[in-house]
Structures are given as structure tokens and as C-alpha cells.
Amino acid sequence: MTPAQCRTARAILGWSQADLAKASITVPEGVIADFENGAWIRAVDLVAIKDALERAGIEISEGRVRLRKDRP
């Protein structure tokens, strides 16, 4: 997942960085902001962010970001 894909996914969900931080449970809002601004973050944080977005119904594949039709 790229920083741009993360921003796009949040926009689709209507989430702020704080919303994503809450959903990811272990990733502080500042780490999400750093990632979206192009900084390197720990792999465990990236996995937590991606998992939170996927649980919310986001699908990231082949460079595309979209809301799954069968989302929860």
C-alpha cells in the first residue's frame, strides 16, 4: 500500500487520520500522518493500517483502491 492509496481509502470511507488510528488500534495518528507524507514506517504499523482499512471494506489491488461490494 502506498501513501496515496491510504489517503484514497480514507477518503472513500470518509475517515480522518484519527478515525484510521482508532480503527487500527495500535497505530498512532502521527504515524499515519507520517506515512501519508511519505515517511518510512514499521512494517507492523503498515500491516495494522491495511488490515483496518480492509475490515472496513476497502480493497487494494493492482494499484486500485475501492470499496468492496460485499463489505461488512
Task: Give me the CATH number covering residue 21.
Answer: 1.10.260.40
Global pTM? 0.92
In a domain, 47, yes or no: yes
In a domain, 20, yes or no: yes
Q: Which residues, other chains included, contact 55 with Cβ-Cβ below 8 Å and sequence gap of 6+?
A: 23, 72
In a domain, 26, yes or no: yes
Domain with 43, as residue range(s), is: 3-67
Domain count, the chain: 1
Cα–Cα distances in Å, from 14 out to 7, 24, 39, 62? 10, 15, 23, 22
Question: Residue-wise pLDDT tens for the chain (72 aa)?
Answer: 999 999 999 999 999 999 999 999 999 999 999 999 999 999 999 999 999 999 999 999 888 999 998 766
Contact assessment for residue 49 and residue 23, using Cβ atoms and an 8 Å cutoff: no
Radius of gyration of the chain (CA): 11
